[in-house]
Amino acid sequence: MSDKTKSTQDYFDAPILTDQLPPKEKRTKLLQALLDMDPDLSFDDPLENDMILNMGPSHPATHGVLRILLRLDGETIVSAMPELGYLHRGYEKIAENETYHEFITHTDRLDYLQPVHNNVGYILAVEKLLGIEAPPRAQYIRTLLAELARISSHLVGFGVMAMDVGAMTLLLWCFREREKIHDIFDLVVGARFTTSFTRIGGIAQDITDEGLAAIRAFTDQFLARLDEGERLLNRNRIFFDRCRNVGVISAEDALAIGLTGPNLRGSGIPLDLRRDNPYLIYDQLDFDVITENEGDSLARYFVRLREMKESVKMVYQCLEKLPVGPVHAHEPKKVLPRKERIYTRMEELIHDFMIVNHGVNPPSGEVYHAIESSKGQLGFHIVSRGEGHPWRLKIRSPSFCNLQALPMLLKGHLLSDILAVLGSLDPVMGEADK
């Protein structure tokens, strides 16, 4: 047991030179994997002090608990190896033991910067499995809140990236705007952060006029606020020098390594599931898919910035087109009945009892549904065996796949460029570690 404890905690408190490493049989697999990566990097001026440096898992710039083992020559990164799992909570195992309704709250904790996308993505997969569809008003409200959540998530990515490369002011400005979105969620959904607002066949509660007015008030002022932030950075020499030509990835490499979302569009590939594989009501909205061709950190920053403006456009369209009507599908055996009817009617009482205790029993089969979340493609693959809980639920989390490109992006850059690259990839460890 004591040997076991030691090997799992093989941290390096200080950088060590590679000729002082432990013998091969005593190295951790992570260290060995790092050493096995081919360092085909030619230096103009090699310093000849090859060393291993540990970064994280608790490091202010890794946005959570990401650990990266680095092999350095002087300050230049020869190779890098990320290590995940420090926030692994086993949600896929938990899902196999809970009913479909119970798991909604767990999806909030995946990508905790924008829980709405997770709620919506999960519930769309369940509805696809059940073969039902939410009424138009519910779909509009889902889209509306999803786009607000995208703004809120991009604001964090935007502000934190700027802070990591030295522009502290912008972070505070972004969080001021984000706070307003949280207030809207508080008003509309009842929770600022962990929204859990979707239900099978609809949403938890209808949106009020007060909520709509709050959303309109926010969007009316948002573009001007964003413009202020933009002016701080878009002509900022320091910011440009830190981000331009850093972490460059070509379109072919980005596709091969499996990048999705703003990171893939930053390399010039216009893949956006909102347009390419439309769900909810995105086929009725007018918006552009933003791409940049450079594929560096700066390009990914500009994609996020311009996507926020597209989201504002979509929020306005949703507000304008929002139809009147119910927010729950009429499927008594699958959709939770309203509370006031449970107390007064026999049928609804029985249905409520069955749904809560045994769950909605979808037919046997496998479905996969993916949405375009703010980080990339978020998919849920559900295997059902006709029981109230899934037999297997696989979460395809975009941050996990995006982080895979990190060794490729960091190679040959300086130690301090890690911040600019990580900030532009915008990973969330809650989602990458599941």
Partner 1 sequence: MNNVLQQTVDSLRARFGDAVEEVREFRDDVIVVVGRSAIVDVATWLRDNETCPFPLCEDVFGIDAWTRKQRFEVNYHFFSLTCKQRIHLKVRVEENDPSVPSITGVYPGAGWYERETFDMYGITFPGHRDLRRSYMPEDFEYHPLRKDYPLMGIPGALPLPKRG
Helix (H, G, I), strand (E, B) or coil at 411: coil
CB 170 within 8 Å of CB 159: yes
Q: Kindly identify the residues of this chain, within the stretch 73-112, that bind partner 1 according to CB under 8 A.
A: 84-85, 88, 90, 92-94, 97
Candidates 142, 328, 334, 434: give the one binding partner 1 (CB under 8 A).
434
Minimum gap (Å) between residue 38 Cβ and partner 1: 10
Candidates 16, 21, 33, 191: give the one binding partner 1 (CB under 8 A).
33
Q: Kindly identify the residues of this chain, within the stretch 385-404, that bind partner 1 according to CB under 8 A.
A: 391-392, 394, 396, 400-401, 404
Candidates 225, 368, 415, 416: give the one binding partner 1 (CB under 8 A).
368
Options 16-24, 128-136, 142-150, 185-193: segment touching partner 1 (CB under 8 A) = 128-136
The helix or strand, by DSSP H or E, that contains position 318, with its residue range, turns out to be helix 297-321
Minimum gap (Å) between residue 255 Cβ and partner 1: 5
Minimum gap (Å) between residue 213 Cβ and partner 1: 38
- Which has the closest alpha carbon to 264: 375, 413, 406? 375
Minimum gap (Å) between residue 254 Cβ and partner 1: 9
CB 333 within 8 Å of CB 302: no
The helix or strand, by DSSP H or E, that contains position 302, with its residue range, turns out to be helix 297-321
Q: Treating both helix axes as pointing N-terminal to C-terminal, what angle do 136-164 and 209-233 enclose, rounded to 10 degrees?
A: 30
CA 67 to chain centre: 18
| Dihedral Cα 301, 304, 306, 311, nearest 10 deg | -170
Binding mask 247-286 for partner 1 (x = CB under 8 A): --------xxxx-x--------x-x----xx---------
Q: Is 166 in the site for partner 1 (CB under 8 A)?
A: no
φ and ψ of 190, to 5 deg = 105, -5
Minimum gap (Å) between residue 326 Cβ and partner 1: 24
Q: Kindly identify the residues of this chain, within the stretch 311-330, that bind partner 1 according to CB under 8 A.
A: none
Place of tokens 């490493």: 21
CA-CA distances (angstroms) from residue 58 to 55, 61, 82, 166, 327?
8, 9, 13, 20, 43
Place of tokens 């989390």: 397
Residue (1 or 14) nearer to partner 1, CB: 1
Residue (247 or 398) nearer to partner 1, CB: 398
Minimum gap (Å) between residue 29 Cβ and partner 1: 5
CB atoms under 10 Å from CB of 77, counted, come to: 23
Minimum gap (Å) between residue 365 Cβ and partner 1: 4
Candidates 35, 155, 367, 428: give the one binding partner 1 (CB under 8 A).
367
Place of tokens 């926010």: 218
Options 26-34, 61-69, 236-244, 416-424: segment touching partner 1 (CB under 8 A) = 26-34
Options 233-241, 303-311, 344-352, 361-369: segment touching partner 1 (CB under 8 A) = 361-369
Residue (157 or 390) nearer to partner 1, CB: 390
φ and ψ of 400, to 5 deg = -60, -45
Residue (189 or 393) nearer to partner 1, CB: 393
Residue (129 or 161) nearer to partner 1, CB: 129
> Which DSSP letter does residue 207 get?
P
Structure tokens at 160: 């934190």
Helix (H, G, I), strand (E, B) or coil at 365: strand
Structure tokens at 9: 């905690």
Structure tokens at 375: 């980080």
CB 163 within 8 Å of CB 66: no
Structure tokens at 115: 């829980």
Q: Kindly identify the residues of this chain, within the stretch 130-149, that bind partner 1 according to CB under 8 A.
A: 131
Minimum gap (Å) between residue 387 Cβ and partner 1: 13
Residues that bind partner 1 (CB under 8 A): 1, 4-5, 7-9, 28-30, 33, 36, 84-85, 88, 90, 92-94, 97, 128-129, 131, 255-258, 260, 269, 271, 276-277, 365-368, 370, 377, 379, 381, 383, 391-392, 394, 396, 400-401, 404, 433-434
